[in-house]
Amino acid sequence: MTSEDLQLTADHFSLFGLPRVFGLDLAELDRRYLEVQHRVHPDKHAHLTEADRRVAMQWATRANEAYQTLKSPLQRAHYLLLLAGHDPQVERNTAMAPEFLVSQMEWRESVEEAREDGDVEGLEQLHARLRGEMKAQYAALGQALDAKRNYADAGVRVRQLMFQEKLLHEIDEALEASGA
């Protein structure tokens, strides 16, 4: 492994030789990840010096982190925004459109009601509806990032999707607790 082969400072997309787009070909990401992992895996460098083995471990860690970020649509969008110089302030900016907040409250009430009633079918329906809404939201996020380069809109969508992902996780937990 030489520094000419790969650049530790390369962004995640460059590390895998992929374009900086939200609409990644995930099969191609998987293929490129496996290629990089094959080249940097620490076992492949076990015969080298301690320092070279540490570098190989850094590369393997870097490849894993980059892969996990790009594999997740929400993390990939957040990362693209940061690369574009637009911090969506996911930790600090909790401002949301009132309609979105009301919608979230209604969703949470419906989930809690279904959970308390042991309504597995209701939870499954909520899950399916939320996944549908999120699919549309991710499509709009892709448009905002790749086609329109509207980073402000994309930042809002990333923050909203964080709420929705958390709610989806809560529905999954409720379904799991109900034995579904």
Give the model confidence (pLDDT) of 159-171 as tens digits. 999 999 999 999 9
Structure token digits, residue 136: 């549309």
Residue type, 124: E
- DSSP annotation of 42: G
CB 11 within 8 A of CB 136: no
Cα gap 82→163, rounded to integer Å: 19
Confidence of residue 179 (pLDDT cuts 50, 70, 90): confident
Asked if the model's pLDDT at residue 1 lies above 90, the reply is no
According to the model, what pLDDT value does residue 55 have?
A: 86
Spell out the domains of the chain, with CATH numbers in brackets: 12-71 (1.10.287.110), 98-177 (1.20.1280.20)
Which of 105-128 are b and which e, b meaning 16 or more Cβ less than 10 Å from the residue's Cβ?
eebeebbeebbeeebeebbeebbe
pLDDT in tens, 42-94: 788 888 888 888 888 898 999 999 999 999 999 999 999 999 999 998 888 87
Q: In the prediction, which pLDDT does 26 show?
A: 98
Q: Report the distance separating Cα 95 and Cα 14, nearest Å.
A: 33
Instruction: For residue 91, give the DSSP letter.
Output: T
